[in-house]
Chains A and B, each alone.
Chain A
Amino acid sequence: MRASPLVRHGAVAAGLVALSVVAYLLLAGVQGDRGQVVLLVVVWTIALTGLNLIMGLGGYPSLAHVAFFAGGAYLSAYFLERGWPMALGAALAVGLTMLGGLVVALVFSRTRGQYFAIGTMFCTAVVYLVLTNATGFTGGPNGKPVDLGFSMTATLVLLAASVGLGLGAFYVLARTRFGDRLRAIREDEDLARHVGVPTARVKLVAMVLSSGFGAWAGVLFAQYNGVIAPSQFTFVQSFLMLVAIGLGGAGRLLAPLVGSAIVIGFTQLIKLGPGVSQIVLGVLFILVTLLVPGGVLGGLAQLARRLRRTPPAAETERSTPVRVKEAAS
């Protein structure tokens, strides 16, 4: 029944190229408020592809992702201000942020679940405080303008290409041993260690890669937007990123795109008044978690399987835990 792997990979590649083309056309064609929505969806998709590695495949709910996003944006702006070439500044911004990701990973690799979430949220809070208070570097609460490093066309092309390439990288990574290792960690980290997975190292690599995606998205966001301010990088944004992955379907290829579209759509398009869209999103998140734990994409996949009437044995929920915590004897 299934298409050969080569055909499937080819179809995915073609789809991602098409997605990049559509992203470019929308970025170049849509103006005003709607243009801003398109930009945010594109930028978030790039950033969340990284979050989908650590949170989607690895099951680690990182709330530090917006800090990496901010790192890319602010550091690249800083290097540009110093008159450094944009390519170098961007590379340094991403590199330094990934170093930050390494530190976060080293500090919090011993924590799990909600403790990991709280710990990484703390990182975001600290970064926010730095952005607001280190006025010499960051421009303080009002933010600062960003010099144009790439031409506008180059920024648009990079944004559009990064969506497809980023998702393509995720698609490949998810199919390598690295992806299997992360999924094993999500299912049962102790068991993974006991079949030989070097869990600490795998989590570290995932976190550093994830921060790289966030930082690169930040670089492009700063370039396109022209202004950056701490209010764009609050811990509320971190939560929304987490919600977006959950809504889209954690670990699924297109979860960043679908999740971003829903979250950005709610916060930017439907003007429900300040705070109300967050409340609606929160309720939506709870409902999806309760009713379709696999997110929108997981739900759709389940529906498609049911329509094809696959034997039920082949479609047990991936997330069903089969174990209880081991009791000491």
Chain B
Amino acid sequence: MTALLTVDRVVKRYGGLAAVDGVSFTLGAGDVLGLIGPNGSGKTTLLGILAGTHDPTSGTVTLDGRVCSGRGAHRAVHAGIARTFQTTRLFGGWTLREALRLARRENRRPADVASDERIAALLALDGLLDRPCTSLTSAAQRLAMIALALATGPRVLLLDEPAVGMDTAESAALARAVRDVADDLGVAVVVVDHNMHFLMPLADSVLVMASGTVLATGTPAQIRADEAVIASYLGET
């Protein structure tokens, strides 16, 4: 299988500090990649580079053979990479449907995009489309942010700590929703999270970062058994 997303030796320097220092990996359609690592290991910065939030100092991100890094977030979205944020960000008093409409209209491949109802059903947001985003529960707002990203018709979806602030039931529902998005829409998903009970069952493969570099990659089972990962991040259980 040829890779949908290819990340090639991506580096991001802030002055003398390399927040991301030569990260490479590939991802196929429908794959879910868990991105873990200690605080400050460069996970969010890497996600930002993939999404066009930051320009890489060097290295490239290639989607389906086309370089899409370093050209700004709106172009990354047009190319097919959408992200969510650690903190909940939505368009204030807009209804979810209004927000989805905006995202949909910015998209140049409208045929690829699931309908509002389909997106809502995937994320268990049925019936909430016409309520102002601010009136949703915080868990629903987290899901609404994913819905907004999906309305851009992404081929790669980047989720930055989606389960933050969710209880066990909510994060389990989120995991199912992410799995459905990957399986039903064929979207490749990168998930950053610290909650291993949420992430490990969900991910097809896991990439562990430490100090801006890749410490280990493998299946969740391999990662759980990796001594370097246990030493630097997971700890003894």
| Residues on A facing B (Cβ under 8 Å) | 177, 180-181, 183-184, 187-188, 190-199, 313-314, 316-329
Q: How far is the CA of A147 from the CA of B94 in the complex (A)?
A: 50
Q: In the complex, which residues of chain B have a beta carbon less than 8 angstroms from the beta carbon of A322?
A: 88-90, 92, 133-134, 141
Considering residues A190, A196, A326, which has the most beta carbons from chain B within 10 angstroms of its beta carbon?
A196
Contact between A329 and B44 (Cβ–Cβ < 8 Å)? yes
What 6 A-B pairs come out closest when comparing CB atoms?
A196-B106, A318-B93, A196-B77, A195-B103, A187-B91, A323-B89
| Residues on B facing A (Cβ under 8 Å) | 39-40, 43-45, 51, 53, 72-74, 77-78, 82-83, 85-94, 98-99, 101-103, 105-107, 131-135, 141, 148-149, 151-152, 160-161, 192
Contact between B93 and A196 (Cβ–Cβ < 8 Å)? no
**CB within 8 Å: A-B pair count:** 111
Q: In the complex, which residues of chain B have a beta carbon less than 8 angstroms from the beta carbon of A194?
A: 51, 53, 73-74, 77, 82-83, 85, 149
Contact between A196 and B88 (Cβ–Cβ < 8 Å)? no
Q: Which of A196, A320, A329 contacts B103 (CB 8 A)?
A: A196
Considering residues A180, A192, A313, A322, which has the most beta carbons from chain B within 10 angstroms of its beta carbon?
A322
Q: In the complex, which residues of chain B have a beta carbon less than 8 angstroms from the beta carbon of A187?
A: 91-92, 94
Q: How far is the CA of A326 from the CA of B47 in the complex (A)?
A: 13
Q: How far is the CA of A324 from the CA of B85 in the complex (A)?
A: 11
B144 to chain A, nearest CB (A): 10
Q: How far is the CA of A195 from the CA of B144 in the complex (A)?
A: 13
Q: Which of A188, A193, A317 contacts B74 (CB 8 A)?
A: A193
Contact between A326 and B134 (Cβ–Cβ < 8 Å)? no
Q: In the complex, which residues of chain B have a beta carbon less than 8 angstroms from the beta carbon of A192?
A: 91, 102
Known: A180-B98, A319-B93, A326-B89. 6 other contacts (CB 8 A): A183-B91, A191-B85, A193-B74, A194-B74, A196-B78, A329-B160
Contact between A323 and B102 (Cβ–Cβ < 8 Å)? no
Q: Which of B72, B90, B134 contacts A191 (CB 8 A)?
A: B90
* CB<8 Å pairs between A and B, sample of 20: A188-B89, A190-B89, A191-B91, A194-B53, A194-B74, A194-B83, A195-B103, A196-B77, A196-B107, A197-B106, A313-B135, A320-B134, A321-B92, A323-B85, A323-B87, A327-B86, A327-B87, A328-B45, A329-B43, A329-B192
Contact between A181 and B102 (Cβ–Cβ < 8 Å)? yes
Q: How far is the CA of A225 from the CA of B51 in the complex (A)?
A: 54
B156 to chain A, nearest CB (A): 13
Q: Which chain B residue has the least Cβ–Cβ distance from A193? A: B73
Q: Which chain A residue has the least Cβ–Cβ distance from B41? A: A329
Contact between B88 and A195 (Cβ–Cβ < 8 Å)? no
- Given A194-B73, A195-B77, A196-B107, A326 and B93 touching (CB < 8 A)? no
Contact between A319 and B92 (Cβ–Cβ < 8 Å)? yes
Q: How far is the CA of A317 from the CA of B94 in the complex (A)?
A: 9
Q: In the complex, which residues of chain A have a beta carbon less than 8 angstroms from the beta carbon of B78?
A: 196
Q: Which of B74, B82, B133, B161 contacts A329 (CB 8 A)?
A: B161
Contact between A320 and B89 (Cβ–Cβ < 8 Å)? no
Q: Which of A318, A321, A329 contacts B86 (CB 8 A)?
A: A329
Q: How far is the CA of A325 from the CA of B87 in the complex (A)?
A: 8
Q: How far is the CA of A328 from the CA of B152 in the complex (A)?
A: 24
Q: In the complex, which residues of chain A have a beta carbon less than 8 angstroms from the beta carbon of B98?
A: 180
Considering residues B92, B98, B101, B148, which has the most beta carbons from chain A within 10 angstroms of its beta carbon?
B92
Contact between B132 and A195 (Cβ–Cβ < 8 Å)? no
A176 to chain B, nearest CB (A): 10
Q: How far is the CA of A180 from the CA of B93 in the complex (A)?
A: 13
Q: In the complex, which residues of chain A have a beta carbon less than 8 angstroms from the beta carbon of B85?
A: 191, 194, 323, 326
- Given A313-B131, A317-B93, A328-B45, A323 and B152 touching (CB < 8 A)? no
Q: In the complex, which residues of chain A have a beta carbon less than 8 angstroms from the beta carbon of B51?
A: 194
Q: Which of A181, A197, A198, A324 contacts B87 (CB 8 A)?
A: A324
Q: How far is the CA of A107 from the CA of B19 in the complex (A)?
A: 30
A133 to chain B, nearest CB (A): 41
A324 to chain B, nearest CB (A): 5
Q: In the complex, which residues of chain A have a beta carbon less than 8 angstroms from the beta carbon of B106?
A: 195-197
Q: How far is the CA of A237 from the CA of B215 in the complex (A)?
A: 60
